[in-house]
Structure formats: C-alpha cells, structure tokens
Amino acid sequence: MTTLTRHLTTLTLLASLLALALAGGRAHASSVDFGEYQVHYSTFPSTYLTPEVAKQNNLQRSRAIGIVNIAIMRKTADGGLATVSGQVEGKVLNDIQQAKFLAFRRIQEGDAVYFISEFQYSSGELLTFQVTARPTGASRELPIRFAQTLFNEE
C-alpha cells in the first residue's frame, strides 16, 4: 500500500468515525478532562463503517459487533489539542456484569493516533466500558468509565 493510499484510508476512517460521533441515538461520543490531558471516546455498531473502510482497517462488519474508539489528547500551548501515543486497555461489562477484555489496536498515521477495539453486543443491551489510558511519558493513568446501549440498524 502506498503512503498516499494509507493516508487516504486513515482520513476515510477518521471521517467515518467523526460522522458516527455526530449520528444521533445510535452512536455515542464524549470526552473526559484530566487537566493536561483529555480522553475522547466513541462507540458505534461496526455496520456503520462502509465495507471498504472495514476491509482496509481489518475490522469486521456485523450486527453483533461494535467498535470503541479512544484518543488520548494533550492540551497544546496555543490552547488546542493534539493526539499523543500511549497505551489503552479495558473491558466491557454487560448488564449482568459479565466482563470481556478489549483488545485495543494502536493506529497511527502522521500525527493522528487512536486506539480501536471490537466487541460483541446484543441490540438494546446496556454495556459499561471501563478503560484506562496511559499517555507515553505521563506519570499517571487516565481511567474512564461510561455506559452505552447500542442498537442494530436493521
């Protein structure tokens, strides 16, 4: 894959994730502020991805699979935000507290760094995500916890 193709693939995935974050009712996006850092997260059904984007990023599209996306952001001197590298780990619990660990993959293209993981779900099931982000070089962990109910489109 050429560098241009990889950049276009990443831009397509990021644009898809942004569009999903703005979709009402079926996707969820938010952030948690930790002073110098912010952790941004979103969850959505994998069927929101186009078949091309899913294939290019080795993601499975299924009515029973969701995607969680995590980005660690550091506040810049000019008041903006920049993604930073690090590690992300976590688990998802269903409504009867059965836990499944999330296998996050780090994706980096240019300055953009984010972490994605697939997870199984049933339509209408309340899921609780417990995620810990560790920015490279930081002295502390950034724990987030959020709940989301996903619904199948069809």
* Each residue's pLDDT tens digit, 35-53: 999 999 999 999 999 999 8
pLDDT digits (tens, 9 = 90+) for 107-152: 887 888 999 999 999 999 999 999 999 999 998 999 999 999 998 8
d(CA 128, CA 27): 14
- Using a pLDDT cut of 70, give the percent of the chain over it: 81
pLDDT for residue 153: 67
CB 77 within 8 A of CB 56: no
Average pLDDT over residues 52-73: 93
Domains contained in the chain, CATH given = 3-149 (2.60.40.3340)
Mean per-residue pLDDT, 3-27 = 46
DSSP assignment of 79-135 equals S-EEE--EEEEEEEE-TT--EEEE--EEEEETTEEEEEEEEE--TT-EEEEEEEEEE
Q: Averaged over 81-107, what is the pLDDT?
A: 95
Q: Is this structure's pTM higher than 0.75?
A: yes
